[in-house]
Amino acid sequence: MSSQLLISGVIFGLSIGSIFFLMAIGLSLCFGLMRIISLDQLLYYSIGAYITYTLSLATGSVWLGVLGGSVVAGIAAFAVERLVFRRIYERELTFSMITSFGILIGGIGVIKYFWGVVPRPVPVPTMTQFDIVGTEVPVYRLIIVAIAFLVYAGIWLFLNRTIIGKAIRAGIENVEHVEGLGINVSRLFTITFIIAGTLSGLAGGLHAPLIMVDPQMGLEVLAFVFMVVIIGGLGSIKGTLVSAFIVGQVVSLGSLIYAPLAQMAPFAIMLLILLIKPTGLYGSALLKR
């Protein structure tokens, strides 16, 4: 493998890992705080992509489309949390998983109704190339990586430097103790769900120029998002970031070595890590089931 091909593969892995992080962080937070498996996050990912496509077509600005897609996805998440999840928080884990999967499938049907089933292209915001050790790499992919790190820093500051964030962190460890302090846990759930949906929409908007926007796009990344959350540790922000980049690199470099590895290797790594550490890389012991 040439050095140019290796560098290109690493950059591709970092960018796809960044997308995985933005999608998986919402799923991880929702489970950590609310103990629900929110598969509908993949619907907000698709909504973000399609709104990005629509607004970029109407305004000529992909970045405006990404912003609009994130906002609309956050609003959709707020509506779903209020209308559906608020009624089932006390139900068993499998019930929330089945319900959220039903929302995802129903949402895909709505997307097909409004946009059809034909994949739609979204233009890349910038075609500029950046030279890294003699290898030209797309600046847009580097921008995606930078956004992922900024989001991680923003979430870390929010969870560690704000009262609401600290309450969410405490709730991830023990919801009953937070309720005992007189904190409105229901409001924390809503805030967390909006943040998760917005970030999933951001992932869809950023990913749209790299792929063809398709109604099934959420289902296509379902397995990878689950692997990222499980490898990193449920409820762990740092673990989600690290595992997203691990999975991204395995998918990218594995496809360069032997194409089927892109699908097989992440599962093998997940199983290996779970054998060594059942709670994931950074999972809390309190999250054991």
Question: Domains in the chain: how many in total?
Answer: 1
Closest CA to 208 of 7, 62, 94: 62
pLDDT recorded at residue 41: 93
- Identity of the residue numbered 204: G
pLDDT at 1: 59
Partner residues linked to 28 by β-bridges? none
Residue type, 142: L
**How far apart are alpha carbons 226 and 228 in whole angstroms?**
5
8 A C-beta contact, residue 169 and residue 40: no
Phi, psi of 183 (to 5 degrees): -85, 140
Q: Is residue 105 packed enough to be buried (19+ CB in 10 Å), middle (13-18) or exposed (0-12)?
A: middle
Residue 91 domain boundaries? 3-287
Q: What is the pLDDT of residue 188?
A: 82
> What is the pLDDT, as a whole number, of residue 5?
82
- Half-sphere exposure of 89 toward its Cβ, with a 13 Å CA cutoff? 17
pLDDT at site 233: 82
Name the residue among 231, 208, 242, 246 with its Cα closest to residue 122.
208
d(CA 17, CA 34): 25
Per the DSSP assignment, residues forming a β-bridge with 129 are 138
Backbone angles phi, psi at 129, to 5 degrees: -110, 145
Mean pLDDT (10-residue bins), the chain, 289 residues:
80 93 88 81 96 95 96 96 86 87 94 94 91 86 95 90 78 66 77 93 95 92 89 84 92 80 81 85 58
Can you state the angle between helices 185-207 and 41-59, rounded to 10 degrees?
50
Give the type of residue at 212: M
Other C-beta atoms closer than 10 Å to the C-beta of 124 total 15
Are 229 and 24 contacting, i.e. CB atoms less than 8 angstroms apart? yes
> Beta strand 135-138 with 129-132: parallel, antiparallel or unpaired?
antiparallel
CB 51 within 8 A of CB 259: no
Closest CA to 223 of 266, 257, 258: 266
Q: Which two tokens stand for residue 171?
A: 């709730």
State residue 172's pLDDT score: 63
- CATH number (domain holding residue 264): 1.10.3470
Rounded CA gap, 122 and 210, in Å? 8
